[in-house]
Amino acid sequence: MKDLNDKPGHLARRFQQIAVAVFHAEMEEAGFDLTPVQYAALVAIAAHPGMDQATLAGTIAYDRTTITGVIDRLAQKGLVVRTPSPRDRRAHELSITAAGDKMLRQVEPAVQAAQRSMMRGLTAAEGKELMRLMRKAIDAGNELSRAPMREMASAEAKKA
């Protein structure tokens, strides 16, 4: 039997487990109730106010069905608001609230601490190389994902 540590899928899953645990620990220690996907959603909405949920899902590579629950929780916390789209009555545009913007600023030190913790054991050069290689592998396999990352279409980006 081969060693699981020779399998990229196993190592990717383990790194994801560590990344999520570290993120949660840093958020808890800093006194914030925020998950990694909620953080990603807030960052994307702050960067592209007015995007709809489907665009958000593609932007952060999350499935469209589950993103609804993420937005529901962010709205319940008062961090984002949904407003009916003037262009599509089936869609809602997302905007970050003042409280959401404040939270993003406040959590940034904890997020940065989590990132450093995830990369501990690596030199700065090794960390950069790991990031480069992860981006390369993710870019090559993006379309194989159940929730591929989608760049905002230029028209979507202009209206957002």
pLDDT at 156: 46
pLDDT at 160: 42
pLDDT at 150: 84
pLDDT at 77: 97
Where the chain has pLDDT below 50, the residues are: 153-160
- Measure the CA dihedral 16/57/72/50, to 10°: 130
Can you tell me the distance from the alpha carbon of 68 to that of 74, in angstroms, rounded to the nearest whole number? 10
* Contact yes or no for 20/117 (Cβ under 8 A): no
Can you tell me the distance from the alpha carbon of 159 to that of 141, in angstroms, rounded to the nearest whole number? 29
The CATH number of 4-159 is 1.10.10.10
pLDDT at 36: 96
Residue 82's H or E segment, with its range, is strand 80-84
pLDDT at 1: 52
38: left (phi over 0), alpha (psi -120 to 50) or beta: alpha
pLDDT at 2: 73
